[in-house]
């Protein structure tokens, strides 16, 4: 009996760093904590089921059959948008491979010159000019890259995300460049659905009470009370959130920039990404091109030669011949980050993925502001 | 070197150069055309610039916000974006297919004969164009930059 080695084909998503969970062999990508996402699904499906069971038969007969039909369409659209937001790659930037990280390190060393020992090295910042506005690009110690403008590192998912908006626990994923429009459409259509169900619940109760009396109506359709309660609370938060994001889109800002106050206050009117035209801004965000994912989750890992297998970074996807070049510049891993950054990083890790209340009082705890080292330093100073 | 296969088998990787993104016009995908010093002895400035500029044009065309992208966006929205399960987006067609083809062509015709190899930026998260510089392991220096290679194929 000959022993046959069957090596399982490993897909790239299995080796991706970061704290995401993947399903369906890499097709689905979400954050680790999915509890609140399940709650969202349960609330939407539960409330709509009650509506279809209790109110729709009466309304279809006494008012119009179009009412349940439209409700079904709206409900399906909401679920589609929710799943699209939750399951897709928000625009994660892959971490730098060792050679790229070394290259950047060497550039930084060259730029800094000689730092006398004992002195803190200057913060790693690159200044770029975008549309006549100086924007600072920060260096990400985890991903070992200079973050592109508008990108930010999500501490919950442990990834840098392009055009980072916020991490939404209700959808169980980050909201970034690739799924922002789905998120916005989700909030918009969910607001409409909530208003729709709420309105027709009231109509139904009124109509039925005229015939049967108020208390009898509540006895016949007990689901109504529950629906009204859920809709009432959901309505205020969803309408508020939709309004807030409509405002952000018209100015071409992200929640992250709004919370940090990048383009408000004394910087008002200087947003270099805005087209200074509300229609153009809306069109860019909602009708712009749909960017492909750069993560390549379902690609097959190439077989590595054993020598390269003990590199600390993720497996190299490079062509098999290219070995990791030895360079003299030291790779600075996380243990060597400047001392004043360490306590802030430790504090972030211990606090865990708690939701911070965003400054806007009308928002429920949706946005977890990204916590990066430099912001913490700035706040501490 | 005569082709990519030879390059991979008979040469050893000496160095890698990373062409960074140019953010002067915003977050649209554009790469710097600054000529890196490591390539000075390997390839002519004009050929390098031509490659980067053509790539930039491809990306600009893909990200252009105009009639076609509105149409695609509205149509997709009307179908709750389910249409993307069947159809490729315009951006994917442009970026993934066209650019991959262009880069392979450039590698075969211009870069491999000079001992260089361009990696598609999408494999590096659209952050950099990685150019690998190979050294010939065995044979002594042969004629470099032969001008019999025809000029780059501009689209």
Tokens of A192: 């409409």
Q: Do B74 and A287 touch (CB under 8 A)?
A: yes
- Using a 10 angstrom Cβ sphere, with 0-12 exposed, 13-18 middle and 19 or more buried, the burial of residue A168 is buried
**Catalytic-labelled residue, pool A48, A157, A160, A168:** A168
pLDDT (tens digit per residue) in A136-194 = 899 999 999 999 999 999 999 999 999 999 999 999 999 999 999 999 999 999 999 99
A290 reaches B (C-beta below 8 A): yes
Q: Do B16 and A94 touch (CB under 8 A)?
A: no
CA distance A162 to A61: 50
Q: Do B81 and A317 touch (CB under 8 A)?
A: no
- The ipTM (two decimal places) reads 0.81
Alpha carbon of B63: minimum distance to chain A alpha carbons (Å): 6
B128 reaches A (C-beta below 8 A): yes
Instruction: Give the whole-number percent of chain A exceeding pLDDT 90.
Output: 38
The arithmetic mean of pLDDT across residues B96-120, rounded, is: 90
Q: Are A270 and A276 in contact (CB under 8 A)?
A: no
- Total domains, chain B: 1
Q: Do B92 and A325 touch (CB under 8 A)?
A: no
- B71 occurs within a structural domain: yes
Q: Are A171 and A40 in contact (CB under 8 A)?
A: yes
Does the pLDDT at position A323 exceed 60? no
Q: Among B15, B27, B123, select the one facing A273 at the smallest CB separation.
A: B27
Alpha carbon of A288: minimum distance to chain B alpha carbons (Å): 6
A277 reaches B (C-beta below 8 A): no
- B150 occurs within a structural domain: no
pLDDT (tens digit per residue) in A127-151 = 888 888 888 899 999 999 999 999 9
Q: Are B62 and B96 in contact (CB under 8 A)?
A: no
Residue where the block lists tokens 């509105």: B70
- B98 occurs within a structural domain: yes
Better-scored residue on pLDDT, A126 or A265: A126
The arithmetic mean of pLDDT across residues A53-77, rounded, is: 92
CA distance A380 to A340: 10
Residue where the block lists tokens 């606090």: A351
A130 reaches B (C-beta below 8 A): yes
**Chain B: residue whose CA lies nearest to A107:** B18
A128 reaches B (C-beta below 8 A): yes
List the beta strands (DSSP E) in chain B.
11-19, 116-119, 129-136
Does the pLDDT at position A326 exceed 70? no
B15 reaches A (C-beta below 8 A): yes
**pLDDT given for residue B88 in this prediction:** 75
- B143 occurs within a structural domain: no
**pLDDT given for residue A40 in this prediction:** 95
Q: Are A218 and A225 in contact (CB under 8 A)?
A: yes
* Of A20, A364, A260, the residue nearest A159 (C-alpha): A20
Alpha carbon of B13: minimum distance to chain A alpha carbons (Å): 6
Residue where the block lists tokens 């001392």: A339
Per the annotation, the verdict on A56 as an active-site residue is no
CA distance A284 to A186: 18
User: Is the backbone of residue A11 left (phi > 0), alpha (psi -120 to 50) or beta?
Assistant: beta
pLDDT band with cut points at 50, 70 and 90 for residue A276: confident
Q: Do A283 and B16 touch (CB under 8 A)?
A: no
Q: Do A288 and B73 touch (CB under 8 A)?
A: yes
- B26 occurs within a structural domain: yes
Contacts across the A-B interface (CB distance below 8 Å): 103
- B149 occurs within a structural domain: no
**pLDDT given for residue B3 in this prediction:** 67
Does the pLDDT at position A48 exceed 90? yes
Q: Which domain holds residue B87?
A: 1-34+42-135
- B155 occurs within a structural domain: no
* Of B146, B97, B110, B128, the residue nearest B7 (C-alpha): B110
- Using a 10 angstrom Cβ sphere, with 0-12 exposed, 13-18 middle and 19 or more buried, the burial of residue A254 is buried
Q: Do B69 and A289 touch (CB under 8 A)?
A: yes
- B25 occurs within a structural domain: yes
């Amino acid at each position: 009996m000959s022993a046959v080695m069957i090596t399982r084909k490993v897909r790239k998503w299995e080796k991706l760093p970061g704290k995401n969970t993947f399903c369906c062999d890499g097709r689905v990508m979400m954050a680790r904590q999915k509890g609140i996402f399940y709650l969202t699904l349960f609330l939407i499906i539960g409330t709509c089921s009650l509506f279809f069971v209790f109110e729709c038969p009466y309304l279809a007969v006494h008012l119009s059959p179009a009412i349940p039909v439209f409700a079904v369409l709206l409900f399906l659209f909401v679920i589609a948008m929710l799943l699209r937001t939750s399951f897709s790659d928000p625009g994660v930037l892959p971490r730098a491979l060792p050679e790229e990280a070394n290259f950047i390190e060497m550039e930084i060393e060259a730029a800094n010159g000689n730092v006398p020992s004992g002195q803190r090295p200057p913060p790693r910042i690159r200044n770029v000019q975008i549309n006549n506005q100086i924007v600072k690009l920060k260096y990400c110690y985890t991903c070992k890259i200079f973050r592109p403008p508008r990108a930010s590192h999500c501490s919950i998912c442990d990834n840098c995300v392009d055009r980072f908006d916020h991490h939404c626990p209700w959808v169980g994923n980050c909201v970034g460049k690739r799924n922002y429009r789905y998120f916005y459409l989700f909030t918009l259509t969910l607001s409409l659905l909530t208003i729709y169900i709420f309105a027709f619940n009231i109509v139904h109760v009124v109509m039925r009470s005229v015939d049967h009396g108020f208390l009898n109506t509540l006895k016949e359709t007990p689901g109504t009370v529950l629906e009204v309660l859920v809709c009432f609370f959901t309505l205020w938060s969803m309408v508020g959130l939709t309004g807030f994001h409509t405002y952000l889109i018209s100015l071409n800002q992200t929640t992250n920039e709004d919370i940090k106050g990048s383009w408000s206050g004394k910087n008002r009117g200087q947003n270099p990404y805005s087209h200074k035209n509300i229609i153009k801004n809306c069109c860019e965000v909602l009708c712009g091109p749909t960017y492909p994912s750069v993560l390549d989750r379902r690609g097959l890992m190439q077989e590595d030669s054993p020598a390269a297998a003990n590199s600390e970074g993720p497996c190299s996807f490079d062509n098999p011949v290219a070995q990791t070049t030895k360079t003299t510049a030291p790779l600075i891993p996380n243990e060597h980050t400047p001392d004043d950054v360490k306590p802030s990083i430790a504090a972030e890790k211990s606090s865990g993925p708690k939701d911070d209340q965003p400054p806007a009082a009308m928002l429920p705890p949706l946005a977890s502001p990204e916590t990066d080292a430099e912001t913490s330093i700035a706040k501490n100073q | 070197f005569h082709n990519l296969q030879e390059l991979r088998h008979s040469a050893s990787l000496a160095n890698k150069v990373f062409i960074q993104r140019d953010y002067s016009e915003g977050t649209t995908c554009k790469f710097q055309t600054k000529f890196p010093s490591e390539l000075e002895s390997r390839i002519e400035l004009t050929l390098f610039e031509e490659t980067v500029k053509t790539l930039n044009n491809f990306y600009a065309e893909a990200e252009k916000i105009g009639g076609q992208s509105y149409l695609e966006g509205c149509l997709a929205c009307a179908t709750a974006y389910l249409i993307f399960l069947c159809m490729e987006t315009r951006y994917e067609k442009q970026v993934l297919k066209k650019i991959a083809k262009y880069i392979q062509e450039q590698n075969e015709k211009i870069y491999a004969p000079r001992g260089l190899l361009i990696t598609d930026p999408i494999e590096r998260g659209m952050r950099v164009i990685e150019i690998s510089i190979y050294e010939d392991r065995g044979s002594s220096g042969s004629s470099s930059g032969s001008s019999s290679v025809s000029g780059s194929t501009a689209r």
